[in-house]
Amino acid sequence: MTDALKQVTTYELLKMKERQERIVMLTCYDALFARLLDPSVEILLVGDSVNQVLGGQDTTLSATLDQMIYHTKTVRRGSSHALVICDLPFLTYQVSPTEAMRNAGRVMQETLCHGVKLEGGRSMAPTVKALVDIGIPVMGHLGLTPQSVNALGGYRVQGRDDVTAQRLKDDAKALEDAGAFAIVLELVPTPLSAEISKSLSIPTIGIGAGPSCDGQVLVLHDMLGLNDRFSAKFVKKYATLADDVRKAAEAFKAEVRSGRYPDADHSFAK
């Protein structure tokens, strides 16, 4: 694990790939979790998945720039080690490179995060280059791209046939050439993600893309078992905190109802 006292940089991620040291990334949406996670990860991603996880929406599409800036600010306050990356929400970067520069620049300036993430391949390469050219680090995202879920026909594995597999390989190369410092591969078959990862000099971060990526990411609330209404083949739950929350709430209710809480230890005599 990277030294907890040292700020992770995009350069360090490249060196980790060279050393074949796996990169750890989790989503994060607030300062408290950022503080708890910070020593254990290289990257904290403030994903537009906040729109689903905390906002109760069915997709990420209605996430706003102000929403992402707010959550990224709070994560940045809780982190001193991890690289903090902000998702650019739908239609904040697709219209033109100029608009992408304006919006991404606002994110960097107002949140003090370390970079942005955007979805798309060759069509987004000019935008990635424009951002990188003005000093904004960019993480790409290929495969299942949630902002395009309607065009993709739902949440399903991408690149299973030769045509789409080749397109993903070309997209990954285009993003690398444009200056992206890393690429998320989501819901991509293991052999394809392995081939893409081997072909690139920049790291790949997998989610549902098998073990051959240079790092892995999960949505925090899925990993912790807090979001117990969601399950997917690629999600491993490392805790069952939804059960703990329910048990704690029921214990609190029982003590309040019975008058056991607050007791003398939790009250002020004068």
**In the block, which residue shows the tokens 């285009």?**
174
Residues 218, 82: Cα–Cα separation, whole Å: 15
Strand partners, 182: 139
Q: Which of 42, 119, 176, 186 is catalytic?
A: 186
Q: Tell me the two tokens of residue 44.
A: 């904290």
Task: Enumerate long-range contacts of 44-47, CB under 8 Å, 24 or more apart.
Answer: 44/75, 44/79, 44/82, 44/83, 44/84, 44/85, 45/85, 45/87, 45/117, 45/217, 46/71, 46/72, 46/75, 46/84, 46/85, 46/86, 46/87, 46/113, 47/87, 47/117, 47/219
Count of CB atoms within 10 A of residue 59's CB?
A: 16
Task: Find tokens 């990169």 and name the residue.
Answer: 23
Per the annotation, the verdict on 186 as an active-site residue is yes
> Is beta strand 43-46 parallel, antiparallel or unpaired with respect to 215-218?
unpaired
Closest CA to 205 of 174, 236, 177, 183: 183
255, 247 contact by CB (below 8 A): no
- Cβ atoms of residues 86 and 68 within 8 Å: yes
Residue 115, beta-bridge partner list: 85
Which sequence positions are flagged as catalytic?
Answer: 186
